[in-house]
Chain A
Amino acid sequence: MQTYRIRVWDLATRVVHWALFVLVVAAYVTGLIGGNLMQWHAWIGLAIVGLLAFRIAWGWLGSTYARFGQFVRGPNAVLDYLRGRWHGVGHNPIGAVSVLVLLGVLSLQSLTGLFGNDDIAFEGPLYVLISKDSSDWLIGLHRQMIWPIAALVGLHVAAMVFYALVRKDNLVTPMFTGEKRVSDPNIASAKGGGWLALLAALLIAGALVWVANGGLIPPPPPVPVPAW
């Protein structure tokens, strides 16, 4: 059977995917160890905010298969897929759910971290905006979420193994090379997501990181401190 090579994942999508993986692992390690690594935990968290913002913006600005409009479908598509009636390229309907869930939980996790505090010496950059009680509640969620999120990531990895071994479909290599072999000559390579789109997505991500780091919060006026 003749196969054709198409470009499925553009470079930005691949870089964000693997950078997100590395930084999420680093966030776990630094958060669980604590101490002076909390400063790194904060920087890593801000970088993750940037990656998530970029990926979400890229869901509109990016190339064909990176766009939400291409892969987000209703529950009927998921049922069709389970019955073997789906023959598209890019994220399959269940993979699409996985993308949205992972982006969603990581966004929430980043958000709760930004408002958090650890009762020791660390405060998130947006902690000043809310009460200590609210911060305690949010950071409690942040701590409770870590194992459910790890389980979702584990499920994601398990799905890759399942596709490789059972469905004989290697999904990992395309996430490195960006290319996939298809048998239908009518399936086109990804288009769009040029330099202008990249610049726009980078600007959106940068602006969001700036806001997340408290860029909009005016610095407190200097208060004279008595010598005692």
Chain B
Amino acid sequence: MKAIFASTSAALLTAALASSAVVAADLKPEDQIRYRQAGYSFMAWNMGKIKANLDGQYNAEQVSAAANAIDAIAKSGMGALYGPGTDQNIGEVKTRVKPELFSNMQEVGTLARDFAAATDNLAKVAMSGDAAEVRGAFGAVGKACKSCHDKFRAD
């Protein structure tokens, strides 16, 4: 029974992975670019909110909501949005990604995991409501953003 359960869940997992791969492939390249840019913009909006809270009146609830939004996007599997054909502008849809990203996927993966670790920490710290700790974690997220921008975002 246990063996059946294990093999069934393994099969389900495989099916889930396969289907998620299919979903990514189904997305038009220009939509992949749009979605990934929407993700980054939405994170930037929430980063701006946290900064405003740190600079002005601190609202722990708002900061926590913003940190959770950033963390959720960071862990949403955005790597799927860097599919074939998304390395250059498609008509009106412009991208500032450097072509090098697509030949350094392993390094990008490391940067992405470091980024998610930083957002995870920010979300955890935000829950505690300690503004000084949030400031530190916020700076670390900013650095994690920058480490990828410096390498793979064109000027």
Interface residues of A (CB under 8 A from B): 33-38, 118-122, 136, 139-141, 143-144
Chain A residue numbers with a CB within 8 Å of B48 are 121
Q: Beyond A34-B142, A36-B142, is A119–B135 a contact (Cβ under 8 Å)?
A: no
A120 contact from B96, B145, B154, Cβ within 8 A: B145
Chain B residue numbers with a CB within 8 Å of A38 are 142
16 contacts between A and B (CB under 8 A): A34-B143, A35-B140, A36-B139, A36-B142, A37-B139, A118-B146, A119-B44, A119-B145, A119-B153, A120-B44, A120-B47, A120-B142, A120-B145, A121-B142, A136-B96, A139-B155
Task: Give chain A nearest CB distance to B55 CB in angstroms.
Answer: 8
A119 contact from B50, B139, B149, Cβ within 8 A: B149
Q: Beyond A36-B139, A121-B50, is A143–B146 a contact (Cβ under 8 Å)?
A: no
Q: DSSP class of B's interface residues: helix, strand, loop or mixed? A: helix
B143 contact from A33, A136, A143, Cβ within 8 A: A33
Chain A residue numbers with a CB within 8 Å of B139 are 35-37
Chain B residue numbers with a CB within 8 Å of A120 are 44, 47, 142, 145-146, 149
Task: Give chain B nearest CB distance to A220 CB in angstroms.
Answer: 13
* Residue among B47, B136, B154 with max Cβ neighbours from chain A (10 Å): B47
- B136: nearest chain-A partner, CB-CB: A36
Query: CB of B82 within 8 A of chain A?
Result: no
Task: Give chain A nearest CB distance to B7 CB in angstroms.
Answer: 45
Bound CA span A143–B151, Å: 13
Query: CB of B124 within 8 A of chain A?
Result: no
Per-residue A-contact encoding for B12-49, CB less than 8 Å = 1, 0 else? 00000000000000000000000000001000100110
Bound CA span A118–B138, Å: 15
Are B47 and A121 closer than 8 Å at their CB atoms?
yes
Task: Give chain A nearest CB distance to B119 CB in angstroms.
Answer: 12
B155 contact from A33, A34, A36, A144, Cβ within 8 A: A144
